[in-house]
Amino acid sequence: MYCRDCGTENEANTCKCVNCGKVMVPIVDTCQKGDWQKVPSRLIPAILATLFCCMPFGIVAIVYAAQANGKLTGGNYQGAMEDRKKATMWCWIAFGLGLIPAIYWAALFFYGFFGTTVGQFDGQSPIGSF
Amino acid sequence: MDNHRLEVFKYIFLFVVGIILVVVLYRFDPASSNIFPPCPFHKLTGFYCPGCGSLRAINRLLHGRFLEALGLNPLMIITLPFLVYGLVAQFCYSVFSYKIAMPFIKAVWIWGMLSIIILYWVARNIDVYPFNTLRP
């Protein structure tokens, strides 16, 4: 069985995951019961990345989340775990690339704030915002 | 420190960051304040992305102006309750080991959501009457 949280393979009937220490829940049972919490999913961060980071990479994460859930329904747990890891990776890429302009903007802002123009704080943004 | 503790700290850290963001979003309007970065996609291409207007919409929502928020990014406002529910469920499970019921979302539904997001993305950029109401 695989840990629903970190994806590490554990022996059957393990109480706690050997890697992260979370209480193990058998995924096979879970899918039959249809309880999302015991089934790994990266859907929420993927949608968050798409609707807030405005980066197309969130879309890739949603694709992998869909594939993972499709494989889970088909009983391919190993494949689902791999897709879930890819979804996680693309979420981080989306959030990371969303952060770069934010950091750049913060740098510009503090330069403007402490440098030349102090009264910029609540002024009109020249290019608009999110 | 074991991994579970690290996980709990991670979620509490994200929670605190979230609260700070909400307070900043309440206090400053992204439409008139320059403390928020511009959308990189919109700045680079001139087109609207599915997330354009999200920050302004949340600012309006925090001030109770629901219809204005809906006008800025309708898809995000419709999705928001589900996202918040999912995040709260994940937070409760990871921090307190408390389980909140969450349905297993079938792959077909996720593909459906994806198509809606992509159609929304395209529709926002069509400058003809019923579609241009989706713009921020």
Counting every residue written for chain A, the total comes to 130
Segment of A48-52, A121-125, B63-67 carrying the highest mean pLDDT = B63-67
DSSP at A100: H
A57: enclosing H helix or E strand: helix A57-73
* Rounded-to-integer distance, Cα B14 and Cα A82, Å: 25
ipTM value for the complex: 0.82
The closest of B2, B14, B11, B25 to B92, measured between CA atoms, is: B11
B117-126 pLDDT, tens digit each: 999 999 999 8
Position with higher pLDDT, B84 vs A34: B84
Can you give B115-131 as a three-state secondary structure string? Answer: HHHHHHHHHHCCCCHHH
**B55-114 pLDDT, tens per residue?**
899 999 999 999 999 999 999 999 999 999 988 888 888 888 787 877 778 889 989 999
Q: What are phi and psi of A91, to 5 degrees?
A: -60, -45
Q: Compare all CA atoms of chain A with the CA of B82 and give the residue at the minimum distance.
A: A44
pLDDT of residue B112: 93
* Cβ partners under 8 Å of residue A34, min gap 6: B103, B104
| Cβ(B51)–Cβ(B134) below 8 Å | no
Q: Can you tell me which residue has the tokens 């991994």?
A: B3
Predicted confidence band at A14 (pLDDT cuts at 50, 70, 90)? low
- Terminal Cα distance for chain A, rounded: 43
Q: Which two tokens stand for residue A43?
A: 């859907």
Checking if the pLDDT of A112 tops 80, the result is: no
Tell me the sheet residues that pair with A9. A2
Identity of the amino acid at B85: Y
CB pairs A-B closer than 8 Å: 157
- Residue in chain B nearest A73 by alpha carbon: B106
Residues of A in contact with B32 (CB under 8 A): 122, 124-125
* pLDDT the model gives residue B134: 84
Residue with tokens 């309750």, as numbered in its chain = B81
Give the Cα separation of B118 and B18 in Å (integer).
Answer: 27
Of the pLDDT bands very low, low, confident and very high (cuts 50, 70, 90), residue A113 is low
- The pLDDT of residue A31 is 42
pLDDT, tens digit, for every residue of B18-63?
A: 999 899 999 888 888 777 777 878 888 888 888 888 989 999 999 9
B25 CB neighbours in chain A (<8 A) are none
DSSP annotation of B84 = H
User: What is the pTM assigned to this prediction?
Assistant: 0.73
Q: Are A61 and A90 in contact (CB under 8 A)?
A: yes
pLDDT recorded at residue A120: 45
Please write down the long-range contacts of A16-24, taking CB distance under 8 Å and 24 or more positions apart.
A19/B3, A20/B3, A20/B4, A20/B7, A21/B2, A21/B3, A21/B4, A22/B4, A22/B7, A23/B97
Find the closest chain A residue to B112 by CA distance. A66
> Tell me, what's the pLDDT at A35?
40
- Supply the pLDDT for residue A115: 52
